[in-house]
Amino acid sequence: MGGIFSFKCRTCSRIHEGSPSFEFAMPSQYERLSKDERSNNAKPGPDFCIIHTEGHFDFFIRVCLGIPIRGVDDPFLWGVWISVSESDFRRYGDTWDNPVETDEYVGSLCNDLSPYPDTLGLKTFAHPKSNGQRAMIALEPTDHPLSVDFHEGLAIEEAQRIAEHSIHR
């Protein structure tokens, strides 16, 4: 199919090898909380997060979004968070050690993947993976540039542009 992604960065002039991978430590909803709100209203973890605000709970799971790079073996990988229903959150947690790969969890993207225009709230479908891997998500087909890239793949030059932006922001 393809090879290994590598490029000479126009910003730092270094050679970057391997498909790009960027992650978010927490969902945007958590990042927007004050220090007091974080300690009083949130239960963060490496793969799960619950936020309690104004009498209601929001549930988040950490997942991966792989954007194919045309002509390259490995995708451009984003470690992101999605919001899911309470029942999906509990099912996902209950099956964490023994995932059911036929399960699907509908969610909303909870990170802003710059340089794409606003990605918060894009509809996602999470599919659990075995072997200790985080669930992979698919994006609902829309005309949003991130969804288009997910479904059609990135040109190598576009993957380089996004990687350079993300490395040096």
pLDDT at 163: 82
Q: Mean pLDDT, to the nearest integer, of 20-40?
A: 94
Residue 68 domain-assigned (yes or no): yes
Q: How confident is the model at residue 168 (pLDDT cuts 50, 70, 90)?
A: low
| Contacts for 163 with CB less than 8 Å, ≥ 6 apart | 7, 16, 20, 76
Q: Is 29 helix (H, G, I), strand (E, B) or coil?
A: helix
State the alpha helices, DSSP H only, in 22-130. Answer: 28-31, 35-41, 86-94
- Looking at residue 29, its pLDDT comes to 97
Residue 167 belongs to a domain: no
Convert the pLDDT of each residue in 77-135 to its tens digit: 999 999 999 999 999 999 999 999 899 999 999 999 988 999 999 999 999 988 778 99
Query: Does the pLDDT of residue 167 top 90, yes or no?
Result: no
Q: Is the pLDDT of residue 42 over 90?
A: yes
Please report the sign of the dihedral spanned by the C-alpha atoms of residue 145, residue 147, residue 149, residue 151.
negative
Under 8 Å between Cβ of 153 and 146: no
Query: How far is residue 45's CA from residue 124's CA, in Å, rounded to a whole number?
Result: 21
Higher-confidence residue of 57 and 11: namely 57
Does residue 95 lie within any of the structural domains? yes
Q: Is residue 3 part of a domain?
A: no
Any domain includes 169? no
Q: Is 81 part of any domain?
A: yes
What total of structural domains would you count in the chain? 1
* Residue 117: predicted pLDDT: 95
Does a structural domain hold residue 88? Answer: yes
pLDDT value at 16 more than 70 = no
Query: Which residues are within 8 A (CB) of 40 and not within 5 positions of it... i.e. 6 or more apart?
Result: none
- 6 occurs within a structural domain: no
What pLDDT, on a 0 to 100 scale, did the predictor assign at position 10?
Answer: 66
What is the residue range of 50's domain? 20-154
Q: State the pLDDT at residue 23.
A: 93
